[in-house]
Amino acid sequence: MTNATPGLLTPEQEGDLVAAYRAVRRLAEGCEVPAVRAAVLAAEAELRLALDGQDLDCDYYVRPGRPPAP
């Protein structure tokens, strides 16, 4: 599927992006494997850039030990 306007996400794509960010956050919270944790933290940073670039609100700052918003 192509976007009607270049550079803009469809509502479905926006939802997928936010869901991906939240899934990565959940993995980062519970992962104890150093190599996996490093990759997950890098993915989280990239997803934050994508969310910021699309001007989407997300729960960026989650207190450690507190579950992310659904």
Q: Where are the domains of the chain?
A: 11-53
CA 17 to chain centroid: 6
Q: Which residue reads 């306007």 in tokens?
A: 5
Going by C-beta distance under 8 Å and a sequence separation of 6 or more, which residues neighbour residue 36? 27
Cα separation of 14 and 36, whole Å?
25
Question: Is the full-model pTM beyond 0.75?
Answer: no
| pLDDT tens for each residue of 1-58 | 454 566 788 889 988 988 998 899 889 888 899 999 999 999 988 988 888 877 776 6
